[in-house]
A and B are shown apart, each in its own frame.
Chain A
Amino acid sequence: MEDELILKKISEARKKQLTTMWEVFKSNKTAYTSLYVLLAIIMLVLVGFFYTPYNPYDFDLSRARQPPSPKHLLGTDELGRDILSRLMVGGRYTIGISFISVILGSIIGSTLGLISGFFGGRIDTVVQRVVDVALAFPTTLLAIALMVSLGPGILSLIVAISISTFPTYTRLVRGVVLQVVNEDYVAAAKLLGRSSWYIIFKHILPNVISPIIVQTSYYLGFSILLASALGFLGLGVPPPTPEWGSMIGSGRVYLFSSPHIVMFPGLFITITALSFNLIGDGLRDALDPRSRMFLRRF
């Protein structure tokens, strides 16, 4: 009976904590607005699955490189394809690939960090050596090297970006685990004979979840830039797929006469990455105000 009461109180307190976090996040006007801007972009990309003003792959050289007009709201590209339609379809690659890779990177990296920090010893040494090697490569260089080796394509991009992002998560999570692993409540759980996995999930994971969420928001912004940079260099999704970065890459030759071909995709990339970064700032203040110095934007 008493146990139930305690459990009920705990769940009430958790609910209250969540509401407070949401209130703090909402009070940050820039972060709150960014959330809506991001949702608008995601809506536009989702609509792209069902409807686009024109077929994004249909080329017609007779209407090539037209500036924005009522007929083509964002103009046409070097092959006469409608830029708005291409941006709507391209978003699923740029945002989708970043999203999947960062989620993968965060799961792999955080798991390694949890295991490394909690068990210590030889496992820790091995994991830290692997992370050292990954961090010995500048992130962009690592991603480029992986793309060269794996060849262009969506799957390669996902592998390349998740490998480039996981080490930071491992370092971050391991650091937090080392801080809490000697706390009394962990020792108590050990004395009660709880299994290691129970302790990790019940007592350690709740401590690391906030920094992971905040870091993920920053990394989503970063990986949008990374994915589009690879696309720009011609190492990402091969044409004619309208990935945002590769749209800039193929349009840059016409910068002198038709700057709109590179301006609009760049604007979309910037607004998306900016939204993720500002949401990240808001989440940091709401979830983990202590870590202002600790977590970094890229």
Chain B
Amino acid sequence: MTLARYLVRRVWHSIPTLIGALLFIFILVRVLPGDPARLIAGPEALEEDVQRIREQLGLDRPLYIQFIDYVSTILKGDFGRSIKFGTPVINEILFRLPYTIVLALVAEVIAVAVALPLGILSALRPNSKTSYITSIISLVGASTPVFWIALILIYVFSVSLRLLPSSGAESPRHIILPAITLSLVLMGNLTRITRSSVIEVLSSNHVLTAVAKGLKDRVIVIRHVLKNALIPIVTIMGLQIGNLLGGAIITETVFAWPGIGSLLIDAIFFRDYTLIQGIILFMVLVFIIINIVVDIIYAYIDPRIRDVLWRTS
């Protein structure tokens, strides 16, 4: 019961943010880049035709009415029609979405599979070789451009070694390079946070008690350290969803991976404003929803937060 109430409250609180985001996208697309009707009609169209399109789209009405219109069509799940393809925007997005989801999941799995053991090991043995490698990975993630890593991987594995395909999504092998690229975006921070939170838990009293009780090292690490260190790790994974989406836009473009990120860049080059607007809004929606989910998971694994939040909600 309390969980449901917390959920309702959390969703309720994100509504103003959502309206703000809608307004922001509306301003970006409708107000700034000139005349959309002229864009649709083309540069050679007659003024009457442009005027007709303007009326069809409702662009001749006051801005606030246009905004209310925009919000109400969005609420109906209608993202408009793509200027380039003529198909509903939501269809284009849903068609490409599975590719992005698969890419993001595989990248996240690789990142966690590398970052957790590395972070824990380097926390347990500071100044060792593992700890040294950890710092390097953490720095590479924060300092190397994603698109450059992607090109280096393509050069090494596709051009020189001829081991893996460099673009497209025809076979499961096609996902390897883009997923590794995207995982490197996440791995650095994840490793660093894992290490620092494990170090912090290691110095706490309950671990000292466990050591004093003579428990085995492995039991201490798994039962007492990891469980508590998981809280900041899950938090950072939530914070990183933004990096994941941003990284996916660039990674998908380099590897011609047919997800919504490369669809966005394509739409930008076709000047397909309804499609651009739809994808941006969709990504923001996904981002807000995932953040809510992360907050709930967060509250669930940390009993202190769970008690406080759920009691007051």
State the A residues within 8 Å of B (CB).
Answer: 129-130, 132-133, 136-141, 144-146, 148-151, 221-222, 225, 228-229, 232-235, 245, 248-249, 252, 255-256, 259, 262-263, 266, 269-270, 273-274, 277-278, 292-293, 296-298
Contacts and interface: CB of A to CB of B under 8 A. Distances in A.
A155 to B, nearest CB: 13
Interface of B: 16-18, 20-21, 23-25, 28-29, 32-33, 138-139, 142-148, 151-152, 154-155, 159, 188-189, 192, 196, 200, 232, 241-243, 245-247, 249-250, 253-254, 264-265, 268-269, 276, 280, 283-284, 287-288
A148 B268 contact: yes
Contacts of A141: 242, 245-246, 249, 280, 283-284
A138 B151 contact: no
A229 B288 CA distance: 24
Given A132-B16, A141-B245, 12 more contacts: A133-B23, A139-B242, A141-B242, A141-B246, A225-B145, A232-B250, A245-B147, A248-B147, A248-B151, A256-B159, A278-B139, A297-B192
Most chain B CB atoms below 10 A, which of A140, A234, A262: A140
Contact of B145 (A144, A266, A297): A266
Contacts of B280: 137, 141, 145
B308 to A, nearest CB: 18
A84 to B, nearest CB: 18
B16 A129 contact: yes
Most chain A CB atoms below 10 A, which of B17, B32, B142: B142
Nearest to A263: B152
7 closest Cβ pairs, A-B complex: A140-B246, A133-B20, A138-B242, A266-B148, A274-B143, A149-B28, A273-B143
Nearest to B200: A293
Contacts, number: 142
A136 B148 contact: no
B139 A138 contact: no
A138 B189 contact: no
Given A138-B245, A140-B247, A296 B151 contact: no
A233 B250 contact: yes
Given A233-B250, A248-B151, A270-B143, A133 B33 contact: no
Contacts of B151: 248, 252, 255, 262, 266
Nearest to B150: A252
Contacts of B142: 221-222, 273, 277, 297-298
B268 A273 contact: no
7 contacts: A132-B17, A136-B21, A221-B142, A232-B250, A256-B159, A270-B148, A274-B139
Nearest to B267: A148
Contacts of A144: 249, 264, 268
B245 A229 contact: no
A298 B28 CA distance: 26
B145 A138 contact: no
A229 B33 CA distance: 22
Given A228-B145, A248-B151, A133 B24 contact: yes
B20 A148 contact: no
A222 B265 CA distance: 21
A152 B11 CA distance: 36
B17 A133 contact: yes
A235 B147 contact: no
A229 B147 contact: yes
Contacts of A270: 143-145, 148
B146 A277 contact: no
A297 B29 contact: no
Given A149-B32, A266-B148, A270-B145, A229 B154 contact: no
A249 B196 CA distance: 37
A282 B18 CA distance: 39
Contacts of A137: 21, 24, 242, 280, 284, 287
